[in-house]
């Protein structure tokens, strides 16, 4: 016995939706695409290239040489390069301070875990 409804000639067939887990449903449901590490990598690469492009334009437009003095050292650099070097130096200092803090927190967490396991 067939459970399909009868259809008169010339009428469109009714759509059948099945919730069966066997996957024999005539409608195909696409699974939700999850955000993966590869997608994050591609997003980061594109964002990085956009930032590099903006920095390149900034350096190209600020080529006037500027004199710098630090303690007894004297030198000249293009202004764009000098600002970029200052930004990179600031980022490196921030990364070093952050790394020291993470090391400190990991050490404290490890000591707390060892203390909790001894109880």
99, part of any domain: yes
Q: What is the pLDDT of residue 12?
A: 61
Q: What is the pLDDT of residue 93?
A: 95
Is 109 in the same domain as 76?
A: yes
- Which residues are CB-neighbours of 7 under 8 A, at least 6 positions away? 13, 14
Q: Give the containing element (helix H, strand E) for 84.
A: helix 79-118
pLDDT by residue for the chain (119 residues), tens only, comes to: 555 555 556 666 555 555 555 555 556 666 777 778 888 899 999 998 999 899 889 888 988 998 999 899 999 999 988 888 898 999 999 999 999 999 999 999 999 988 888 87
Q: What is the pLDDT of residue 53?
A: 92
Is 70 in the same domain as 106?
A: yes
Q: What is the pLDDT of residue 10?
A: 61
Which domain range does residue 55 map to?
A: 32-61
* Integer Cα distance of 106 and 76 in angstroms: 43
Look up residue 1 and give its two tokens. Answer: 């016995």
pTM of the model: 0.53
Q: What is the pLDDT of residue 40?
A: 86
* Integer Cα distance of 64 and 88 in angstroms: 20
Is 93 in the same domain as 42?
A: no
Does residue 58 contact residue 80 with C-beta atoms inside 8 Å?
Answer: yes
Q: What is the pLDDT of residue 9?
A: 62
Is 47 in the same domain as 85?
A: no
């Amino acid at each position: 016995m067939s459970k399909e409804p009868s259809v008169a000639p010339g009428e469109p067939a009714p759509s059948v939706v099945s919730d069966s887990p066997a996957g024999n449903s005539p409608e195909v449901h696409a699974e939700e695409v999850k955000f993966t590490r590869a997608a994050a990598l591609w997003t980061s690469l594109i964002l990085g290239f956009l930032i590099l492009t903006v920095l390149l334009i900034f350096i190209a437009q600020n080529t006037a040489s500027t004199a710098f003095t630090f303690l007894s050292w004297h030198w000249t650099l293009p202004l764009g390069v000098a600002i970029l070097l200052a930004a990179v130096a600031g980022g490196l200092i921030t990364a070093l301070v952050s790394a020291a803090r993470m090391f400190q927190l990991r050490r404290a967490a490890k000591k707390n875990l060892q203390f909790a396991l001894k109880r």
